[in-house]
Each structure stands twice: as structure tokens, then as C-alpha cells.
């Protein structure tokens, strides 16, 4: 981990202990890169050995960007060491969980509807199959009775 990052962080927390406003400023500053807060820019410049804020000078802009990228990488490593999840990752996971819960609810409704499909009383498909089997057996018995009666009727006419 970058030692300049640790020095910066130490001084930042000392200053933050004096003023809660520093924490909110840091959050904003991290979102837009250096240049948004004079106090944090000066602190950053001091520990990363940078010149004034970059203007038109491409070399100075590249140096600031490289230092800020190094700072962000060190911050990510430090937060990971502390088992802290960045807000953006947390929000992405929260959205994913919400989407999956919606998908699960829709699938449960579909499963319930499919289980009830084809059953007039809303019972299980197995109960519907049993009722159908009993109906077929009853029809077969009645057909046998009909054939028996027709056979008897034709034999009595002869």
C-alpha cells in the first residue's frame, strides 16, 4: 500500500476529528477527482509531492491523474483490508437482490398457475389424472353395458 496514502489518511482523520464537514467534503471530492475542495487538494498535493492544480499543462495533469489513481487504488485496498464494501458495490448488489426477488416472485406465480392448470377445482394435476381415470373406467363400464344390452336385443329378435 502506498505510504503517501497512509500519511494523507492520517492527516485527513486528524482534521476530520476537528470538523465533521471534512468527511462530507471527502465524499464529494472522491466523486469528482481533485480540484473540488481547496483544503483536500492542498493536503493531497502535500503528501503526493505535486505542484499546483493542473491547468493547461498536460504533464502536470498526467501527474495529478496518476497520483489520484494510485490514491484510489490504495483506498480500495485499505477498505478491503477492513472488510468494508464500497457504497457503489453495495447498491449494485442491493439492486441485483431486488431484481432477483422480483423474478422469484414472478416464477412462483407461474409455477402456482401451471400447477392449477387443467384442474377445474384448483387441485393438483395428480388429482385431475385420478378423476380422468375414474371417468374413463365409468365410460368403459357403460359401453360394456350398452354392448351387452344391444347383443341381448338382437339375439331376442332372432
Provide the 8-state DSSP code for 84: P
Angle at 78 between CA 76 and CA 83, to 5 degrees: 90
Torsion angle, alpha carbons of 49, 54, 57, 58, to 10: 80
Element (H, E) at 16: helix 3-18
Closest CA to 2 of 52, 76, 54: 76
HSE of 155, CA atoms in CB hemisphere, 13 A: 6
Per-residue pLDDT band at 144 (split at 50, 70, 90): very high
Mean pLDDT of 9-15: 75
% the chain with pLDDT above 70 = 75
Grid cell in block for residue 12: 485527513
Mean pLDDT of 13-28: 68
Mean pLDDT of 42-49: 77
Torsion angle, alpha carbons of 132, 133, 134, 137, to 10: 120
Whole-angstrom distance, CA of residue 13 vs CA of residue 23: 9
Grid cell in block for residue 135: 371417468
Q: pLDDT tens digits, residue range 26-44? A: 666 666 655 666 777 777 7
Mean pLDDT of 60-83: 81
Q: What's the whole-model pTM score?
A: 0.46
Q: pLDDT tens digits, residue range 78-131? A: 888 888 887 888 999 999 999 999 999 999 999 888 877 755 565 666 777 888
Amino acid at each position: 500500500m502506498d505510504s503517501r496514502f497512509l500519511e494523507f489518511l492520517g492527516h485527513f482523520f486528524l482534521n476530520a476529528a476537528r470538523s465533521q464537514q471534512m468527511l462530507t467534503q471527502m465524499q464529494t471530492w472522491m466523486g469528482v477527482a481533485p480540484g473540488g475542495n481547496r483544503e483536500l487538494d492542498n493536503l493531497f498535493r502535500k503528501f503526493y509531492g505535486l505542484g499546483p492544480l493542473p491547468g493547461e499543462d498536460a504533464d502536470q495533469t498526467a501527474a495529478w491523474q496518476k497520483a489520484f489513481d494510485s490514491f484510489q487504488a490504495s483506498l480500495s485496498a485499505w477498505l478491503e483490508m477492513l472488510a468494508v464494501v464500497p457504497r457503489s458495490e453495495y447498491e449494485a448488489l442491493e439492486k441485483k437482490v431486488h431484481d432477483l426477488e422480483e423474478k422469484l416472485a414472478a416464477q412462483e406465480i407461474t409455477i402456482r398457475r401451471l400447477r392449477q392448470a387443467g384442474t377445474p377445482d384448483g387441485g393438483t394435476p395428480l388429482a385431475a389424472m385420478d378423476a380422468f381415470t375414474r371417468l374413463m373406467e365409468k365410460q368403459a363400464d357403460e359401453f360394456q353395458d350398452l354392448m351387452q344390452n344391444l347383443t341381448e336385443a338382437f339375439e331376442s329378435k332372432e
